[in-house]
Amino acid sequence: MKLRYALTRAMPRRQQPREGRTLGAMASPPTTRSVSIVVDRPPLEVWAAVADVTRMGEWSPECTTGRWIGGAVGPAVGATFEGDNVAKVAGRTMKRWTTTAEVTACEPGVVFEFIAEAYTTWRYEFAAEGTGTRVTESFSYIPSGLSGFMYNVVLRRASMMSKGMSATLGRIKSTLER
């Protein structure tokens, strides 16, 4: 299984400063990573699996379960959901937490995106490739202050999240191609 990694510094639309405002000289650039894989299934089928947040626990090494909340019953812009997460180091649970996320882009077979805790944007893009679908998963956040330093530099969170994306996409591929 081949995975493609990319490091970019492009700032997602919703994290760009509003017109007339700047991020300031001390602001950190966004941390963004992406991973891609080709799944031998059509884009709509792959999108439907990924956009069903109740299935993410099947694939993600960090998100153990997801559920729609606030009256949402499925993916749509503005829909909200919760995800239960666990961070493990050397097989030992270090932290458990629940995040609330809002869907910010949702086009069947093309894109599924959400922002978790108004901080990290997760995006899945789907493109037909041969008889299958190239799925690209990415995240972006802007580290700030001491907590941003701890998150990015000390805990090397972006590296851990990139490894998690690779595992997630590999498991999605394996499940959907069975």
CATH at residue 48: 3.30.530.20
Confidence tier at 8 by pLDDT (50, 70, 90) = very low
What total of structural domains would you count in the chain? Answer: 1
The answer to whether residue 73 sits within a structural domain is yes
Cα–Cα dist 124/133, whole Å: 12
89-143 pLDDT tens trace: 788 888 899 999 999 999 999 999 999 998 899 999 999 999 999 999 999 988 7
The answer to whether residue 96 sits within a structural domain is yes
What H or E segment, with its residue span, contains residue 80? strand 80-89
The whole domain housing 75 covers 37-177
Q: Is the overall model pTM greater than 0.85, yes or no?
A: no
The answer to whether residue 11 sits within a structural domain is no
43-61 pLDDT tens trace: 999 999 999 999 999 999 9
The answer to whether residue 31 sits within a structural domain is no
Mean pLDDT of 40-44: 98
The answer to whether residue 106 sits within a structural domain is yes
Name the residue with higher pLDDT: 37 or 18: 37
The answer to whether residue 150 sits within a structural domain is yes
74: pLDDT strictly greater than 80: yes
Question: 153 with 147: CB under 8 angstroms?
Answer: no
Q: What percent of the chain has pLDDT over 90?
A: 62
Confidence tier at 151 by pLDDT (50, 70, 90) = low
Cα–Cα dist 106/47, whole Å: 10
Mean pLDDT of 150-156: 62
